[in-house]
Amino acid sequence: MQISFSTIGSGGSVSLDMNTAPPRDGSRRLSRTATLDGGAVITDGGVTDADRSFDFTAIQAPEDTLKTLWAMFQAEDLVHLSCPEGVFSGYLQRVKITASGVNISFMVHEKLT
């Protein structure tokens, strides 16, 4: 599986080959408030892509790709992620580059397509 990150501000982009597809993960916007009678009121705000995060592990990439990815991470630009689930805007929350690969945590702002 391949994913791509791109930015609008700096114009950088990188494509990475992933070891595995990220698991599909999500959560509902729920809140619970205790009531005086010992019960509870639960408010369900539904599901939104803005509550999602993706964690990727990529096989080793070329050095110039890693430099571009690191520059994107440090620039704090809004980043677009293209993956099999769609195109998302969000932020690179964590990037860890090691000898065995690249670990990336991406926090979704919104789903574009």
Alpha carbon distance 21, 3 (integer Å): 10
- pLDDT of 23 over the 70 cut: no
What are φ and ψ of residue 71, in 5° steps? Answer: -65, -40
CA distance 104 to 3: 11
Token pair 């609008």: residue? 8
Q: What percent of the chain has pLDDT over 70?
A: 88
Q: Which amino acid is at 17?
A: D
Both structure tokens of 85: 């689930």
More confident residue, 82 or 34: 34
3-state secondary structure of 69: helix
Average pLDDT of the chain is: 84
Q: Which residue has the higher pLDDT, 59 or 91?
A: 91
| pLDDT tens string 27-72 | 888 999 999 999 999 999 998 888 888 888 887 788 888 888 888 8
pLDDT, residue 75, reads: 82
